[in-house]
Chains A and B, each alone.
Chain A
Amino acid sequence: MIAINTAVTVLYYLICAFFLAAIAYNFVKTRKVQESVLYGLMMIPFILRLLRLK
């Protein structure tokens, strides 16, 4: 049980990192200010999760 949970947790953080990278990529590529604000907001919870703060 503990081993399974640990594996799922590691996968979860890898998924978080993937989505954070994808959002950051879109943030860099977008030409619209409004979208950059949206991507910026979206990154906050992913950063807090990766840092294990929430």
Chain B
Amino acid sequence: MKLKWAKIAVLLVMAACAAVAGFLFHEQRVYREAVAASPHLTQVKKLSDYSPAIKGTVNDCNVYVFDSGVPGGTALLIGGTHAEEPVALVSALVFTENLKVTQGRVFVIHRVNTSASTNTRLGEAYPRFFHVEAPWGVQKWRMGDRVANPLDSWPDPEVYIHYPSGQNLAYMDIRNLNRNWPGKADGLLTERTTFAAMELIRQEGVDLTIDFHEAELEYPVENTIVAHERGNEVAAMTSMMLTSQTFRVPIGMEFSPKALHGLSHREVGDHSDAVSYLFEVAEPMLDRIRGITDEELLMSGKDRFVMKAGEHNLLYAPIDESGWPFDLRIARHVTTAQTLIQVNNMLHPDQAILMEGIPSYQDILDQGTGAFLRDPAAAPPEQVYYD
């Protein structure tokens, strides 16, 4: 009798543990991120409008379209490639919630690999969500993983063979969106996602793509613009302008390696008429040697262990007591995108894109990112969308 009651107690405790864990996993998986789009948004399409390859999957994301109706260039801004780099998501969102295009067209994707945002990196104790304070309240987003959720794409191959180059990559990179360009219509989830994105680029005649990222300070490709060779002039001039006039920490410019396949800065340019760029900014939370991995570190970008590594010249970006705060990282990405498009306008007048409403670098630093986010609860319902 005593054993029977002990087993019942064990079952109850086990069920409670499973219920709590299951609720936490499920909450992150189904949370819907509200977007209060700019009143000047023209249309919201789905990525599957360009290819049925991802119809019905979690990665059939929203594509926010700003069409001025005036002939000019077309840009595609891509956020959410790596869901553990949240500044990429929010930088794209700042455009969607504030943008007015007066010439040309701008397409924005916030969560190009939505699946990756529905789980966290195994063994890293990442927070499930992150929050930004705005004048009207708090906005909340999922903090995800680098690669797609195994619940959506599994099993991985023993070795991931990139299509079409045949380059061998690590097994989990089959779920890493930025190793899967230009994609494959009958491949696994991330291959199909990039294939659909390539179809968007080809069908809409996109002239330039910008893929937002963040990187650990231990990583050599840091605070930089990685450019396809057709974009070297634009990237170099953008880098020089921002470094000389705006940024305290310089932004570099790097050539996209021709032999490194699967990345957007290489494959988008090789497989379409678009010129592809990838932006990196420093995020101490991604460093291996960081301390406690919580939302405070994510938002402040301050970590004494990373600072110590900097004192020993082990990093590729400077860091001091002020860290790399969220607003600074957002300001760099948003300003770099604006500047790059302006430079592209100068060098390629036939691809001119004129934009209004986007906050400046100093505006974001002074007022914070939250000042440029709209309240979904107060916005007209027809302007509210969910990612």
Contact = CB atoms under 8 A, between A and B. Distances in A.
Contacts of A51: 22
Given A12-B155, A40-B13, A2 B7 contact: no
B187 A41 contact: no
Interface in B163-216: 186-188
Nearest to B26: A53
Interface in B120-179: 151, 153-155
Contacts of B186: 1-2
A43 interface: yes
Contacts, number: 58
B155 A31 contact: no
B162 to A, nearest CB: 14
For chain A, the bracket of interface size reads 20 to 34
A47 interface: yes
Nearest to A32: B3
A31 to B, nearest CB: 7
Contact of B18 (A12, A31, A47): A47
Given A1-B188, A2-B186, A12-B155, A33 B25 contact: no
Contact of A48 (B3, B21, B153, B154): B21
**Most A Cβ at <10 Å: residue of B11, B14, B25:** B14
Interface string A9-53: 100100000000000000110010100110011011001100111
Contacts of B260: none
A11 to B, nearest CB: 10
Nearest to A42: B14
Nearest to B187: A1
B240 interface: no
Residues of B in contact with A, size category: 20 to 34
Contacts of A43: 14, 18
Contacts of A31: 3
B68 to A, nearest CB: 40
A53 B22 contact: yes
A40 B14 contact: yes
B142 to A, nearest CB: 15
B249 interface: no
Given A2-B186, A5-B188, A33-B6, A44 B151 contact: no
A48 B7 contact: no
A36 to B, nearest CB: 5
A9 B154 contact: yes
B346 interface: no
A40 B11 contact: yes
Interface in B227-244: none
Nearest to A38: B10
Given A31-B3, A48-B25, A54-B25, A2 B10 contact: no
A35 to B, nearest CB: 10
Given A5-B188, A53-B25, A48 B18 contact: yes
B11 A44 contact: no
Nearest to A8: B155
Interface in B1-26: 3, 6-7, 10-11, 13-14, 17-18, 21-22, 25-26
A36 B21 contact: no
19 contacts: A1-B187, A1-B188, A2-B188, A5-B155, A5-B188, A12-B155, A27-B7, A33-B6, A36-B6, A37-B10, A40-B11, A43-B18, A44-B17, A47-B18, A51-B22, A52-B151, A53-B22, A54-B119, A54-B151
- What 3 A-B pairs have minimum CB-CB distances, sorted nearest first? A40-B14, A40-B10, A53-B22
